Amino acid sequence: MRILRLAAPVLAALGVAVAFAPAAPRAEPTAEIAAAIGVPLSLDAHKIKLGGALKAPEAWRAYKKRFIAEQGRVIDTANDQVSHSEGQGYAMLLAVAANDRPTFERLWGWTRANLMVRNDELVAWRFDPQHRPAVGDMNNASDGDLLIAWALAEAADYWDDLPYRMAGRRIAVELSRKVVLFKTKIGALLLPAVAGFNASDRSDGPVVNLSYYVFPAFARLDSVAPEVDWDGLTQTGLDLLEASRPTPQSLPADWIALEGWRARPAEGFAPEFAYNAVRIPLYLAWAGVGERAHYAPFLAWAQRAKEAPPIVDVLTGKDVGPFGGAGIASIGALVACVVDGAKLPGDFSASKANEDYYPATLHLLALLAAQMRYPSCLTN
C-alpha cells in the first residue's frame, strides 16, 4: 500500500505553517520541476526482504577492503578515521544484502562491544580512536539506531537467527520509547537523538532531521516490533517533507526547527540542503513511498549538474558549491530512474575508485535500492 502525504491545506489546518521563517518568496516551479511533476509515477511500497539482494560481489569486496577494518569497525575516511553508528548500520545492511554473514558478525560484534555502552539499548553515535575515552559523547543518533535495528531484523529473517531478532527488537522498542513523540499535533515525530532536540532542549525545538526518517527501515521493523506505529512515522515524515520546503527550489534543509509547529531552518545549522538531506530521495525511492511532488525537486536538483550536483542554500535558492564525491550523483541517477524510467549508467554496479566512505556508501545503497525495486532501470 502506497502511503500518501497530507496536502498543504490539511497541514495548515493542523497548525503547521508551510513556509520557512524568514523565507524568500516562493518562486514558481521551474520548468524542470513542472515537467517532472507531470510524469506518471508508479511506485510499489510492498515490503521486500533485503537478504541476498545485492548482486555486486566485486563492489562489495572493494567496499569491505577500503572501509571495514578487520575487527569490524567502519572507518570514515574523510572524517579523521572515526566511526559512527550510522556507518555500522549501513555496513551491516550491506553485509546481509551481500549474504556475507562472517562480515556481519564482525560488524555487529564490534558495534556491540564499542558503541553499545549506554545504560539503555540504544547506540552511542560516535567512536574516535584518537581520543580516550573513544566514546566521548554518550548521546545516540536515531538514524544509526534505526539502521542497526533494521539490519538485525533482516539478518534474523534471512539467516533464521533468534538472537539477531531479539537484539533488533530491543533497539527498536527502546528507540520508540525514548526518541519518538507519538502524540504531537502532526503525528509521530522522530527526534534525532535522546538529548538535545526536544522543545525542552532548544528555544526553536523540537528540531528534526528528515534524513533520519529511514523509510525502508520503517517498512521492515514491524517484523521485530509490530506494536510500534511505523506507518505513522512514515506518514509524518512525508508530511514534514511537504511542509518544510516552500523554498525557491522546494528543497528541505538538513535541520528543521518546528517551534510553534512552523517549519524553518534550525538555529545554529547552515540553512542548506546538504550532506544529510541528500539521503531523503534515496530513502523515498528505496521504500517506494511518496508522490510525484516529493520526487520532482530532487530530480530538478540532480539534472542541473549530473556529475556534481550542488549543495543549495534553501532560503536563497543559490548553489553553495558541489558535493564532494561522485557517489552523491548516484542518488540523482536513482531519482531519474524512479521518476521517468531513465536507465542507470552502464558502470553503476562498479565501485567508485578513490571515493571516501560517505559517497561510496551512498552509491552502493543506491545500487542496492535499484536492484531491489527498479531492475528495469539497470543496464543489461
Give 156-200 as a 3 state SS string. Answer: HHHHCCHHHHHHHHHHHHHHHHHCEEEEECCEEEECCCCCCCCCC
Q: What is the mean pLDDT of residues 7-29?
A: 42
Among the residues of the chain, which ranges form H helices? 8-13, 31-37, 57-67, 85-97, 101-114, 142-159, 162-178, 215-220, 230-243, 279-287, 292-304, 329-340, 357-373
How far is 105 from 141, CA to CA, in rounded Å?
Answer: 22
Using pLDDT thresholds of 50, 70 and 90, give the confidence band for residue 377: very high
* Per-residue pLDDT, 32: 52
Residue range 8-377, CATH number: 1.50.10.10
Question: Which stretch of DSSP H or E encloses residue 208?
Answer: strand 207-208
Residue 321, beta-bridge partner list: 311
Question: What is the percent of the chain with per-residue pLDDT over 70, rounded to a whole number?
Answer: 89
Lowest mean pLDDT: which of 41-45, 102-106, 205-209, 337-341? 41-45
The pLDDT mean for the chain works out to 89
Residues 6+ apart with CB under 8 A from 80: 128, 130
Q: What residues does each domain of the chain span?
A: 8-377
pLDDT, tens digit, for every residue of 30-40?
545 545 455 45
pTM (whole model) above 0.95: no
Distance CA 323, CA 20 (A): 24
The average pLDDT across 227-243 equals: 95
Name the residue type at position 108: W
pLDDT attached to residue 183? 87
CB-based burial of residue 44 (10 Å sphere; 0-12 exposed, 13-18 middle, 19+ buried)? exposed
**Residue 182 half-sphere exposure toward CB, CA atoms < 13 A:** 10
Which residues lie across from 140 on neighbouring strands?
A: 124
Strand, coil or helix: what is 259?
helix
The whole-number pLDDT of residue 304 equals 85
Give pLDDT tens digits for 97-146.
999 999 999 999 999 999 999 999 999 999 999 999 999 999 999 999 99
Q: Would you state the cell numbers that stand for residue 355, as one nine-digit string?
A: 571515493
Indicate which residues carry an active-site annotation: 86, 143
Mean pLDDT across 328-357: 90
SS3 202: coil
Neighbouring residues of 230: CB distance < 8 A, sequence distance ≥ 6: 218, 219, 221, 222
Model confidence pLDDT, tens digit, residues 282-338: 999 999 999 988 999 999 999 887 778 999 999 999 999 999 888 899 999 999 999
